[in-house]
Structure 1
Amino acid sequence: MADFLVIGALALDRPVRLSGPLESGGRVLGKSLDGALAGRLGGGAANAGVALARAGHQVAVGGVVAADADGDACLALVRAAGLDTRHVIRRDGASRTTLILIEPGGERLVLGLDVEPVKPPTLPPPESDAAFDGLYVRAPYPGAEAWAAACQGPVVAHWPAGGFAGPCDVLVASMDDCDAATLADPFAAGRAQVGERLSWMVLTRGGHGVTAHDGRRILRATPRPTTVVDATGAGDCFAAGLLEALTAGADMQAALAHACAWGTVSVGLDASAPLDGSFPAFRPAAS
């Protein structure tokens, strides 16, 4: 069992299942959770953190949650999932409303309603005795760099990571989020943001597979075919699986395969945070 920290958003996602694909000029029907636009646990920190906890690890989350009723409900769900919230800050103002529009094939569109820029407060610095075996930086909250520097194991971060400047061992990016310059030389683009410590830039493309770049080699892995129920949170579960395997001493090729397996579990669930998922801990292949 390892101790992990995940820095990122904690939220109530409000899923809406659509009767057909989203098309310009089209019309579709939607079915919300409980028929009342109810919320479910989501946000990158919750998605990744729950997967790690379901694999049997101790997981703390760091982030910012509004001090309102939605924030209270969100934190209650986070704690019920077994995650440590001592590093979560409450902020003034209202929680953001996020709709998850899910097409019949399981792909989703994330729609933030009435989003106003909110400058997040700085995370408190790590305590002198803080000791985490691995860290996933899902959102670049101010102060995340200090936690990355204090982490005694691998640091995995999400791209584009905004103002996060490292230190970081692995960046994970969806190809859909990358511009042409990044795709032309992913490893160089990653190092330009987070520094020379970066060892790998990992690009994901859903069910089409992933590639990992270290400036010399390109490694590839492909998830097994599966029925996609809801793709929400799959990238976070992939990153969590990657971190979990690397923390256990896996090489990148084995870590990619493990991460793909966790992503496959996620897309088969009707959920954002994978509360009902089964995520096996990494085990080295028998020699």
Structure 2
Amino acid sequence: MADFLVIGALALDRPVWLEGRLERGGRMAGRSLMGRLGPRLGGGGANAGVALAKAGHIARLASLASADDGGGESIAMAKAASLDITLVGRRPGASRTTLILIEPDGERLVLGLDFDRARITLPALPSPSDHPEVQPDGVYVRAAYPGSDAWASHSRGPVVVHWPAPTYAGPADVVICSADDLDPGVLASPFEAARAVFGPRLSAIVVTHGAGGASAYSMSAPIIVRAPPAMVIDSTGAGDVFAAGLLEALTAGAGMEAALQHACAWGAVTVGLASSAPVDAGPGAYRPFA
């Protein structure tokens, strides 16, 4: 059992299962959770953290929840999902409403409502100096909240960072990004582009391709791993859980190819669940790296 820290969003997602594909000018029906746009646990930090907890590890979440009832409900759900919420702070303002529009093939569109990034000032996360008992074996920076640099520097093991992360200036051993988020110039030389941002400590960049698997680029030859076959029900959270699986394997001492295979296996489990954070995964669904 390892002690992991995930830095990222904690949220309430409100899923809507659509009867057809989204089309411009179209009209269709949908089904919401509990018939009233009910919430489920979500946010990139919670999604990754729940998978690590399901694998039997200590999963600590460092996040910022709103000061209203919605923030309190998301914290309660995170705690019920076995996440350690000691490092979850509160921010001023109301909760963000996030709709997850899920098409019949499991692809989803994330729709954030009434969110003005320019007007939100985030407080810093609790400091490592205030929590000497927390000594993470590995850290995943999903969202670069103020203070995330200090926690990454406090890690005893690998630091995996979601990229792009414009405000992050801390250490990174591996960065993960979706091919859809990268411009052609970066895709042409991924490792060189990432090292120019993160510095010489960076050992690899992992580029995900959804059902196509993932590729790792470093000073050595690229490594390409195909995703295992999966029945896709809801793809929400699969990228976050992929990152959690990669961190888990690297912390256990896996080489990159084995770590990618492990991460792809965790992602394949996740797309088969009707959830954002994989709270409904059964025992043994996320097998620890061995």
Counterpart-to-counterpart distance in 1, 2:103 and 2:51: 24
**Residue matched to 2:209:** 205
CA contact (8 A) 1:65 1:71 kept: yes
Counterpart-to-counterpart distance in 2, 1:85 and 1:150: 18
Counterpart-to-counterpart distance in 1, 2:186 and 2:71: 36
Which of these residues, 181, 189, 192, is aligned with residue 188 of structure 1? 192
**Residue matched to 1:77:** 77
CA contact (8 A) 1:165 1:195 kept: no
Any runs of at least 4 consecutive aligned residues in structure 1 with deviations exceeding 2 A, and if so which?
127-130
Deviates more, 1:186-195 or 1:146-155: 186-195
CA contact (8 A) 1:164 1:194 kept: no
Identity over the aligned pairs, expressed in percent?
Answer: 58
CA contact (8 A) 2:150 2:170 kept: no
Counterpart-to-counterpart distance in 1, 2:157 and 2:165: 20
Counterpart-to-counterpart distance in 2, 1:175 and 1:142: 26
- The aligned runs of 1:24-39 (5 Å cut-off) are 24-39=24-39
| Residue 192 of structure 1: how far off its partner (Å) | 2.1
Which of these residues, 140, 150, 154, is aligned with residue 150 of structure 1? 154
Q: SS where residue 24 of structure 1 aligns?
A: coil
Q: Deviations over 1:31-86 (max 9, x none)?
A: 11111001000001110000000000001100100011111110001001111111
Counterpart-to-counterpart distance in 2, 1:96 and 1:215: 41
Q: Deviations over 1:90-114 (max 9, x none)?
A: 1111000000000000000000001
CA contact (8 A) 1:53 1:59 kept: yes
Q: TM-score, normalised by structure 2?
A: 0.96
**Residue matched to 1:119:** 121
> Which amino acid counterpart does residue 124 of structure 1 have in structure 2?
P
Deviates more, 1:182-191 or 1:150-159: 182-191
Deviates more, 1:252-261 or 1:154-163: 154-163
| Residue 129 of structure 1: how far off its partner (Å) | 4.7
**Residue matched to 1:56:** 56
Q: Aligned residues, how many?
A: 283
| Residue 227 of structure 1: how far off its partner (Å) | 1.1
**Residue matched to 1:280:** 287
Which of these residues, 247, 265, 270, is aligned with residue 261 of structure 1? 265
**Residue matched to 2:256:** 252
CA contact (8 A) 1:101 1:109 kept: yes
CA contact (8 A) 2:64 2:90 kept: yes
Counterpart-to-counterpart distance in 2, 1:193 and 1:38: 40
**Residue matched to 1:2:** 2
**Residue matched to 2:239:** 235
Q: TM-score, normalised by structure 1?
A: 0.97
Counterpart-to-counterpart distance in 1, 2:82 and 2:27: 41
Deviates more, 1:21-30 or 1:232-241: 21-30
**Residue matched to 2:15:** 15
**Structure 2: tracts of 5 or more residues without a match:** none
CA contact (8 A) 1:13 1:43 kept: yes
| Residue 189 of structure 1: how far off its partner (Å) | 1.7
| Residue 212 of structure 1: how far off its partner (Å) | 0.2
RMSD (Å) for aligned C-alpha atoms: 1.0
| Residue 184 of structure 1: how far off its partner (Å) | 1.1
Counterpart-to-counterpart distance in 1, 2:239 and 2:158: 18
